[in-house]
Chain A
Amino acid sequence: MYLEIVSPEATLFAGEVVSVTVPGINGEFQILSNHAPIVSLLQNGNVRIQGNVTVDEAFESKFSKGSNGETVLAISSGTIEMKDNKVIVLAD
């Protein structure tokens, strides 16, 4: 599935991923390929991307490597939308 993480200042990440784990306002949840369409709010926490991904050099400093080869991005709040196997995370 395709994942896009956009902040007000730039598109931080865009690319194919296996799955993504996000800090939902009612608890952390994971979105896998072909998940049903969903809109949810995110709270302060980490967005963890599973899969072999490369981050744009310009934003490498914002991401860190987690366990099991995950790519991690810390956010303070945000919104997530999943539709037609495309996930968009609006990160603030």
Chain B
Amino acid sequence: MANLKEIRNRIASVSSTMQITSAMKMVSAAKLKKAQDAITAMRPYSDKLTELLQSLSANLDADSSSKYAEEREVKKVLIVSITSNRGLCGAFNSNILKQSVSLAQNNYAGKEVDYLVIGKKANDFLGKNNTVVANHSEVFDDLTFDNVAAIAEDLMEQFSSGSYDRIDVVYNKFKNAATQIVMTEQFLPIAPIEGEIATSTDYIFDPSESEIVEQLIPKSLKTQLYKSVRDSFASEHGARMTAMHKATDNATELRDQLKLKYNKARQASITNEILEIVGGAEALNN
């Protein structure tokens, strides 16, 4: 009967795993909701800022561009990798790490590539074979605009001082709970703003238009980084929710299989017992 006991133990262990995964799924679902709300809440700000920048820079000449738009020969590259602090979220982190490494090997072959990481997982992986200049994993503990803006300021400083000629951000863009898209975005130098809006509005500018643009660009960069981190945060919970959902499904299937096996074994053992009894009774009668 050892077999029966073994199966019973396995059923118990699979069931408790299932409980854990389904609880984690529900926690992630609640966190995802919050993270999604935060993305929605920041949209008016970032949309307005982009709109203002577009309508202002459309009127400005190209040569009055800011120090953040300066295209230099690329010698030193900084890749900002945004992952999560925790695992158990499917391919969420490995996708980012793969992309970060392949970016360095393919696009920036022969150039000096450093990493700046946001998220413990990136720090653990990239820290082994590469130079990680800074680790900002702590922003996830308190994800506010100000904290992310501080990182963005640091990046802008590194670029304008000439420490790096190009800065890219690799992160998971949130599409929906089940889908994350790995994005590689050029952070600095700033890409020319696309999509000209024909503005007929005759604004009064105070101070001058170029000064306003000069002030708006850092704001827009901060917003861009904040958006990336927020997207990645929401994606993380989405990915974890999906992963835990699959794990729960798999556990259910495994438990059902084990139950079937258990019942078969039980039936077989009962049949055996009856056969023995009948055999014994027959022997007595004779």
Interface residues of A (CB under 8 A from B): 4, 6-11, 24-26, 36-41, 79, 81, 83, 88, 90, 92
B207:A26 contact, CB within 8 angstroms: yes
Distance, CA A7 to CA B219, complexed state (A)? 12
Interface residues of B (CB under 8 A from A): 38, 41-42, 44-46, 48-49, 52, 56, 144-145, 201-207, 209, 211-212, 215-216, 219, 222-223, 226
Distance, CA A90 to CA B223, complexed state (A)? 12
Distance, CA A83 to CA B51, complexed state (A)? 13
Who on chain B is nearest to A78 by CB?
Answer: B219
B144:A39 contact, CB within 8 angstroms: no
| Smallest CB separation, A33 vs chain B (Å) | 16
Who on chain A is nearest to B219 by CB?
Answer: A92
Interface residues of A: mostly helix, strand, loop or mixed? strand
A90:B201 contact, CB within 8 angstroms: no
Who on chain A is nearest to B223 by CB?
Answer: A8
A38:B49 contact, CB within 8 angstroms: no
B49:A90 contact, CB within 8 angstroms: yes
Distance, CA A90 to CA B145, complexed state (A)? 13
With A4-B44, A90-B49 given, can you name 6 additional A-B contacts, CB distance below 8 Å? A7-B145, A8-B222, A26-B207, A38-B203, A41-B211, A90-B52
Given known A-B contacts A7-B145, A39-B203, A88 and B38 have beta carbons under 8 A apart: no
Who on chain A is nearest to B51 by CB?
Answer: A81
Distance, CA A37 to CA B202, complexed state (A)? 7
In the complex, what residues of A have CB within 8 A of residue B207's CB? 25-26, 40-41
Distance, CA A41 to CA B222, complexed state (A)? 17
